[in-house]
Amino acid sequence: MSTPTPESYERGKGMDAHNSVMRDIRARKEKHYDPHEPTRVWLDEDNTPDGVYQSLTIILNTGGCRWARAGGCTMCGYVAESVEGGSVPHDALMDQIDVCLEHEREGADEKSGLIKIYTSGSFLDEREVGAETRKAIAETFSDRDRIVVESLPDFVTPEKLRDFREEGLETDVAIGLETANDRVRHDCVNKYFDFDDFIQASENAASVGAGIKAYLLMKPPFLSEPEAVQDMKESIRKCAEYAHTVSMNPTNVQRYT
C-alpha cells in the first residue's frame, strides 16, 4: 500500500470526507421495508466447535447499523435494507422472530440446533435491539443448543451475553474484523475500531464462557491480489488466538456505496 500523507487525516478529509459522501449516497435508497418482516431467513447446515448443526439463519430488520448510518464501511450497503427512523419497537422485532419460526416449521422436520441472528449491524447494540428484545429472544431459543449473534466489538459485554448463557445456550459473537491490520481496516474498509478492541471483545466473551467467530475480508478494497492474500494469511494467524472460528468472505461491493 502507498503511504498516506498527513493531510489525508485532516478533519474534512479521509474518513470524514468518505462518510460525508456515503451519507449522501445512502439517502438515495428508494425501497421501504416492513418492520414486522425479517430481512431474510433460511435453513442451512453449519460447522461449529461442537460439530455440524442444522441452522436457522435470521437477519432481523432493524433501524440499521449505527456506523453505516454515519457513513460506514466502504463496500457495505446492507443499511439500505433497514427500516427508516433508526429503531424498530420490541413487538415488531418479536413479530419478525415469529415469521422466522414459522419458516422453520414449514421447511424442516425438526428444530434447528443452531440459531444465527444478524442485523446487518450489531445485534448487541441496544439502539438496534433493546435489552427487552434481547432477553425475549434468548428465552425463545432456550431449547436450542447454540446461538450466534453479530456485533461490532464495542457492544460486546459480559452482561449482554449472560442473557444467553443463563438460558443454557452455547454462545458465539460473530465480529466483522475484516483484517487484523489496523491500517487496512481504517483506510481501505473505513472501519473505526482497532485490533485491540477485538481482543477486548474476545476477553469479555470468554469471561462468561462465550466464543468469538471472526469474519475476515478476502481482498479489501484498494489492495492488490498479492497484498490481499498476504493480509488474509497474516490475519488468520493473528486472530486465531482469540477466535475459535475464522470465516473468509470475498468482498461484495453493494449498492448505495
E-state strands within the chain: 40-48, 51-59, 114-118, 146-150, 170-178, 211-218, 245-250
Locate 207 and state its grid cell: 469471561
Locate 43 and state its grid cell: 435453513
* Interval 36-63 mean pLDDT: 95
Mean pLDDT across the chain: 90
- The gap from C-alpha 157 to its chain's centroid, in whole angstroms, comes to 15
Domains assigned to the chain = 6-250 (3.20.20.70)
- Note the pLDDT of residue 235: 98
pLDDT band at 89 (very low <50, low <70, confident <90, very high): very high
Q: What letter would DSSP give residue 39? A: S
Residue 215 contacts residue 247 (beta carbons within 8 Å): yes
- Note the pLDDT of residue 27: 66
- Note the pLDDT of residue 164: 98
- Note the pLDDT of residue 78: 77
- Residues 6 or more apart whose CB falls under 8 angstroms from that of 235 comprise 177, 179, 180, 181, 216
Q: Side-chain half-sphere of 206: how many Cα atoms within 13 Å? A: 10
Task: Give the count of beta carbons closer than 10 Å to the beta carbon of residue 197.
Answer: 17
